[in-house]
């Protein structure tokens, strides 16, 4: 690697203030987009309309940024808005013809992302369509995902290992008599890379293995926690429901069908790095061409998976910057009030939740974090403890 390459590489991480600004600007937009989407989530609202409003807001907000930059700066949707209900695990972002609507009492997972110049901020949030506090197993599963996210925030830090995070989040879910959903990965992110090589597994089992890695300063992670009241082993029920894909830049197979070649050139032009929804493509040609593109590995699908009917699935995803002065959670949203049937008694989990997330002289932040943890479980379960204030700062 030449010294020029090394310098370019160095400039693209959090040691560059400009890079930090782009991450935080993307986060500010996606946090606002989440609020816009939540306002639209009402009984009888069509899910496709909600998804389109989320994406449109991100496009509109990013379009006005860096308009006069000397070189063209890509910006916009980093992950299409999806709204997945009850036992649907995720990635539900239907085509325009889909008539699925929300109903009173539905538990929604809203998942979305924004990028500026390829620097990505992702967020996912769980909301129940009802007035008043969330109770029973719905409250338990949201608390399981949220408390696991809070623990992960405190363990994803320089010098710590990924496998320690995997074990901790499973332990938290068990405390609420819930399961962490298998197959969900938390990835390191880099410029134009939504799924970097450093990975945190949600559930470790013999079939799924990742390399043991250590977190380092100036890295960025999207921590994705999905919990279920079911067995945490979701199934693909209908491949036709898959609408979100990402171009695999390493595949060069020559496609046979004209429709496939047309679609792949459209994708290379408009979505070279980020996941996109089939709604963004010309629908008739897309239907014909997508199958061949997926079969030969050009496109990586994000399938719509299901737990069993009657199960509830909750998701919390946030983006964290591992800054020299501590962890900076840049995406989040406050939860509804939760009245869980379980409380955290385990001293190890309480110890994790009491850890500070910022490095402060004299340990001021640590004291404060401990206090929040001691206030009783509600502070841990019902809302991100210190993380929310950090995200808004």
Whether residues 328 and 186 share a domain: the answer is yes
Whether residues 264 and 339 share a domain: the answer is no
Whether residues 51 and 151 share a domain: the answer is yes
pLDDT for 375: 34
Tell me whether residue 215 is in a domain: yes
pTM score, whole prediction = 0.89
Number of domains into which the chain is organized: 2
β-bridge mates for residue 299, sequence order: 247
**Selection from 6, 16, 26, 15 nearest residue 115 by Cα:** 26
CA distance 171 to 150: 13
Whether residues 117 and 247 share a domain: the answer is no
Tell me whether residue 385 is in a domain: no
Whether residues 133 and 155 share a domain: the answer is yes
Token pair recorded at residue 349: 């989990």
Q: Helix or strand or coil: residue 373?
A: helix
Q: Which residues contact 252 (CB under 8 A, 6 or more apart)?
A: none
Residue pair 257/288 in contact (Cβ under 8 Å)? The answer is yes
**Selection from 347, 370, 373 nearest residue 360 by Cα:** 370
Residue pair 66/96 in contact (Cβ under 8 Å)? The answer is no
Tell me whether residue 186 is in a domain: yes
Angstrom distances, CA of residue 104 to CA of 37, 129, 189: 16, 5, 36
Domain final residue pick, 338, 354, 370 = 354
Whether residues 209 and 253 share a domain: the answer is no
Whether residues 56 and 80 share a domain: the answer is yes
């990402």: which residue's tokens? Answer: 246
Whether residues 198 and 67 share a domain: the answer is yes
pLDDT for 1: 41
Tell me whether residue 56 is in a domain: yes
Beta strand 134-135 with 338-339 is parallel
Whether residues 82 and 185 share a domain: the answer is yes
pLDDT means per 10 residues, the chain with 393 residues, are 43 89 98 98 98 98 88 94 98 95 98 98 98 97 98 96 96 97 96 95 83 96 98 95 94 90 92 94 80 93 97 98 96 97 95 87 43 37 34 33
> Buried b vs exposed e over 327-345: b needs ≥16 C-beta within 10 Å?
bbbbbbbebbebbbebebe
């204030």: which residue's tokens? Answer: 389
Tell me whether residue 320 is in a domain: yes
Residue pair 53/32 in contact (Cβ under 8 Å)? The answer is no
Tell me whether residue 371 is in a domain: no
CATH number for the domain spanning 157: value is: 3.90.230.10
Tell me whether residue 198 is in a domain: yes
Whether residues 322 and 284 share a domain: the answer is no
Whether residues 250 and 162 share a domain: the answer is no
Residue pair 193/113 in contact (Cβ under 8 Å)? The answer is no
Helix intervals (H) in 41-135: 47-63
Structural domain including 120 reads 17-236+309-354
pLDDT for 360: 61
CATH number for the domain spanning 282: value is: 1.10.10.10
Whether residues 137 and 108 share a domain: the answer is yes
Tell me whether residue 372 is in a domain: no
């Amino acid at each position: 690697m030449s010294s020029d390459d090394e310098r370019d590489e160095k400039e693209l991480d959090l040691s560059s203030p400009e890079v930090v600004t782009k991450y935080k600007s993307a986060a500010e937009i996606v946090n606002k987009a989440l609020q816009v989407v939540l306002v639209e989530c009402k009984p009888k609202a069509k899910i496709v309309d909600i998804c389109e409003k989320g994406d449109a807001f991100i496009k509109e907000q990013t379009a006005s940024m860096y308009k006069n930059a000397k070189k063209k700066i890509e910006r916009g949707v980093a992950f299409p808005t999806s709204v997945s209900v009850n036992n649907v695990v995720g990635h539900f972002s239907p085509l325009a013809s889909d008539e699925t609507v929300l109903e009173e009492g539905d538990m929604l997972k809203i998942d979305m992302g924004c990028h500026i110049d390829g620097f990505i901020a992702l967020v996912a949030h769980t909301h129940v369509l009802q007035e008043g506090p969330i109770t029973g197993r719905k409250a338990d599963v949201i608390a399981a995902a949220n408390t696991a996210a809070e623990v992960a925030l405190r363990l994803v830090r320089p010098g710590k290992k990924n496998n320690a995070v995997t074990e901790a989040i499973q332990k938290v879910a068990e405390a609420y008599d819930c399961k962490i959903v298998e197959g969900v990965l938390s990835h390191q992110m880099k410029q134009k890379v939504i799924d970097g090589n450093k990975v945190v597994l949600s559930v470790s089992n013999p079939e799924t293995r990742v390399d043991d890695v250590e977190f380092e300063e100036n890295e960025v992670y999207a921590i994705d926690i999905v919990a279920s009241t079911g067995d945490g082993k979701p199934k693909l029920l209908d491949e036709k429901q898959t609408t979100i894909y990402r171009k695999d830049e390493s595949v060069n197979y020559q496609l046979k069908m004209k429709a496939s070649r047309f679609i792949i050139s459209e994708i290379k032009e408009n979505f070279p790095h980020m996941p996109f929804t089939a709604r963004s493509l010309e629908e008739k040609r897309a239907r014909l061409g997508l199958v061949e593109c997926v079969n030969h590995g050009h496109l990586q699908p994000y399938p719509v998976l299901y737990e069993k009917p009657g199960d509830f699935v909750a998701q919390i995803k946030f983006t964290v910057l591992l800054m020299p002065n501590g962890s900076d959670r840049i995406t989040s949203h406050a939860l509804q009030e939760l009245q869980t049937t379980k409380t955290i008694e385990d001293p190890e989990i309480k110890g994790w939740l009491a850890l500070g997330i910022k490095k402060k002289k004299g340990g001021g932040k640590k004291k404060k974090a401990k206090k929040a943890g001691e206030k009783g479980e509600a502070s841990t379960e019902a809302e991100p403890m210190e993380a929310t204030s950090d995200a808004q700062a």
